[in-house]
Structure 1
Amino acid sequence: MTSPLRTVLALVGATLLLSACAPGALLNAKPPVPDDWEPRGSVSAMVAFAPGGGSDRSARVMAQGLNELGGDYNVNVENKEGGSGAVGWSTFLSEEGNGNALLVAETALNTLPLVYDVPFTYESFTPLVMFAKDSRMVVAREDSPYDTCADVVTASEKRRVVTGSSGKTGADALVIAEFQQEGGKFGTVPYGSTGEVLTGLLGKQIDVAPASAASVKPYLESGDFKALCTLTTERYDDPLLGKVPTAKEQGMDAEVTVWRGVFAPKGISKVQRNFWIKDLHKAMKSKTYRDYLKADLLIPADVSGRDFAQYLDRYDAQMRGILR
């Protein structure tokens, strides 16, 4: 039976192929990009997920920061959701050489091709700037018998422990994979979003839940949940979350880092790449960007160009060790 993801990607691929084979497509060679190139008019910033999620929010923050620079361009976010990111990223392949197109992506750009047969990898696009990192916490209901992540792993070796996950290749899945490497055995209930995972925990459909710090903090403040550990390198710099120990403090060799970054299509010129790196750096000095990091409890990051590409290479090797 053909999987839904494969069917969707086949349709996307057919559309791109027909577009490429249109009469005259091979005759429309683009002129060289001038040294003083700057984008003009509308610039698309694609995000491969639905409006309202973390990826969409990060894209809109970066778009606003760029637009506040007052250049001769206007960045507009375009959502192209489907297939856990596969539809949007497959579609973005058709923008090759277009300096007026941006892509705001995250960790799943590395992990999705390791799990599914898709026509792209992270190397299919031009890395510009990684602007933030995120991680995960693990929480349980306040009346849970578990007090630490180590408790959860130990218990799962003797009885069924059920967790939720908002995707097979995202940050939640990485947390579960890390715990499995520590000897844990879990039943996993798939959900469409972090919000649904937390609702499932409240409704006693699952026992524990991995989620972003920003999404669980209100539940910790209300007393509905208790935090078992963070998957960060160090504790959060936050009055409440700073009291939560890391998994490593509990004797587990488990850590999850989620990157967020901006890409351009493959085939753009060095002039175009350097322009966007420069303006993205300027946008990251804005109050909009600083407020975003603070509100979402993100880790600041500023890795660009070749350094970003090398980071992605190392990250991909790490993910292969976890997911394969």
Structure 2
Amino acid sequence: MTPRSLSLLLGGTLLSLGLAASAAPTKPECIAPANPGGGFDLTCRLAQEGLKASGALSDPMRIVYMPGGIGAVAYNHVIAQKPDDPNSIVAFSGGSLLNLAQKKFGRYSVNDVRWLAAVGSDYGVAVVRDDSPYKSLKDLMGAFKQDPTKIVLGAGGTVGSQDWMKAALTARAAGVDYRKMRFVAFEGGGDALTALRGGHIQAYMGDAAEAFTMLEGGAPIRVLAVFNDQRLPGKLASVPTAQEEGFDIQWPIIRGFYVGPKVSDADYQWWVDAFNKTQADPSFAAIRDKQGLFPFNKSGADLDKYIKERVAEYTKLANEFGLIRQ
């Protein structure tokens, strides 16, 4: 065999090995770190439907439910049991990142998985009744600062949760000690809306997609501001940002996926390319919109950088609000 023939043979073999290493997963699965229903399930279904519609994934993707600790059980399982599994992607949310910042995922940190892709986002909002005397966020903040005891904030989360953090940030922006704010935790948006309508709370610190659904259903509410650096598209485009009202409150709630820490570069890149292809497909916007999410397209190194910046910011906030025990 001539040197040239040997070179061509080796080159072809290496190419074949490279293609094999980055081939589509044979048994793709999305782990939803919760019971069926809810945000993690929604995130996995978004991947399941989107990857199929774009043609990025031909084999059917199954959804595996692994509840516990808003993602902690799944995080620990993948790192310890499936560190190099190229078939498994795991859903995460902004709440997962907040828990990581508060060291609620055990001994593992934000550096112990490979962050893959974000496929959509929601944003915090401040909501009042449609007949509320507070016609703007400035009105609400003024009343809050004047007498914090008269403004009861409600949301669907306990102390340290995303919804609580939105309320605490609102209090801080109003110049009110967060420890003096009156906060009521509810099981979900429906209960909070009932309390708002009954006058038991003055403002609901919710999510934009949830508020949009409420408005579409005819709920008597007014969205005062969205906690983002720019206005949202669509039917909430008329709602100002908190920054426009003079308050620096931002709370993006991203949804996306990660894989185990030892998944090969080739397999990791296959998933990155698959999600990039899916999000570029015209059909994906309709699928995402159906789930009530807004555009947020980051993947690979870009997402990894963003995630680590967010966790650092959440860690800073958690320390400021006394949520991390030293």
* Normalised TM-score (structure 2): 0.80
Structure 1 pair 92/165, CA: closer, same or farther in 2 (3 Å)? farther
Displacement after TM superposition at 1:82 (Å): 2.7
User: Partner residue of 2:226?
Assistant: 230
Among 305, 310, 313, the residue aligned to 2:300: 305
Alignment of 1:150 with 2:138, yes or no, is yes
Other structure's SS at 1:216 match: helix
Alignment of 1:187 with 2:182, yes or no, is yes
CA–CA separation in structure 2 for the residues paired with 1:104 and 1:317: 20
Structure 1 pair 192/91, CA: closer, same or farther in 2 (3 Å)? farther
The worse-fitting range, judged by mean Cα deviation, of 190-199 and 95-104 is 190-199
The worse-fitting range, judged by mean Cα deviation, of 197-206 and 305-314 is 197-206
CA–CA separation in structure 2 for the residues paired with 1:70 and 1:141: 44
The one-letter code sitting in structure 2 at the alignment partner of 1:175 is K
Structure 1 pair 291/250, CA: closer, same or farther in 2 (3 Å)? same
CA–CA separation in structure 1 for the residues paired with 2:269 and 2:213: 40
Structure 1 pair 95/108, CA: closer, same or farther in 2 (3 Å)? same
User: Partner residue of 2:114?
Assistant: 126
Q: CA contact under 8 A between 2:148 and 2:182: conserved in structure 1?
A: no
Q: CA contact under 8 A between 1:110 and 1:121: conserved in structure 2?
A: no
The one-letter code sitting in structure 2 at the alignment partner of 1:278 is D
CA–CA separation in structure 2 for the residues paired with 1:283 and 1:217: 25
The worse-fitting range, judged by mean Cα deviation, of 164-173 and 205-214 is 164-173
Structure 1 pair 248/216, CA: closer, same or farther in 2 (3 Å)? same
RMSD between aligned residues = 2.5
- Describe the superposition over 1:210-253 as per-residue Cα deviations: whole angstroms up to 9, x where unpaired: 22222212433525111111112122222x42222111111111
- Describe the superposition over 1:60-101 as per-residue Cα deviations: whole angstroms up to 9, x where unpaired: 011122234274533112222232332332333222111111
CA–CA separation in structure 2 for the residues paired with 1:90 and 1:199: 37
Structure 1 pair 203/87, CA: closer, same or farther in 2 (3 Å)? farther
The worse-fitting range, judged by mean Cα deviation, of 33-42 and 44-53 is 33-42
The one-letter code sitting in structure 1 at the alignment partner of 2:62 is N
Among 115, 127, 142, the residue aligned to 2:102: 115
Displacement after TM superposition at 1:39 (Å): 4.2
The worse-fitting range, judged by mean Cα deviation, of 203-212 and 253-262 is 203-212
User: Partner residue of 2:8?
Assistant: none
User: Partner residue of 2:30?
Assistant: 45
Alignment of 1:322 with 2:317, yes or no, is yes
CA–CA separation in structure 2 for the residues paired with 1:237 and 1:214: 12
Q: Which has the larger radius of gyration?
A: 2
User: Partner residue of 2:13?
Assistant: none
Structure 1 pair 118/237, CA: closer, same or farther in 2 (3 Å)? closer
Structure 2 unaligned regions, length at least 5: 1-15, 320-326
CA–CA separation in structure 2 for the residues paired with 1:223 and 1:40: 44
CA–CA separation in structure 1 for the residues paired with 2:222 and 2:57: 46
Alignment of 1:202 with 2:197, yes or no, is yes
Other structure's SS at 2:29 match: strand
- Describe the superposition over 1:100-152 as per-residue Cα deviations: whole angstroms up to 9, x where unpaired: 11011111222103335432333221111122232121111123222222333
The worse-fitting range, judged by mean Cα deviation, of 94-103 and 73-82 is 73-82
Q: CA contact under 8 A between 2:93 and 2:254: conserved in structure 1?
A: yes
Displacement after TM superposition at 1:188 (Å): 1.7
Between Structure 1 and Structure 2, how many residues are aligned?
291
Structure 1 pair 97/173, CA: closer, same or farther in 2 (3 Å)? same
Matches within 5 A, 1:35-184: 35=18, 36-37=20-21, 38-68=23-53, 69=55, 71=57, 73-93=59-79, 94-119=81-106, 120-157=108-145, 158-160=147-149, 161-167=151-157, 168-182=159-173, 183-184=175-176
User: Partner residue of 2:4?
Assistant: none
CA–CA separation in structure 1 for the residues paired with 2:46 and 2:228: 23
CA–CA separation in structure 2 for the residues paired with 1:43 and 1:197: 38
Q: CA contact under 8 A between 2:31 and 2:66: conserved in structure 1?
A: yes
The worse-fitting range, judged by mean Cα deviation, of 35-44 and 138-147 is 35-44
- Describe the superposition over 1:13-56 as per-residue Cα deviations: whole angstroms up to 9, x where unpaired: xxxxxxxxxxxxxxxxxxxx952222444222112233322332
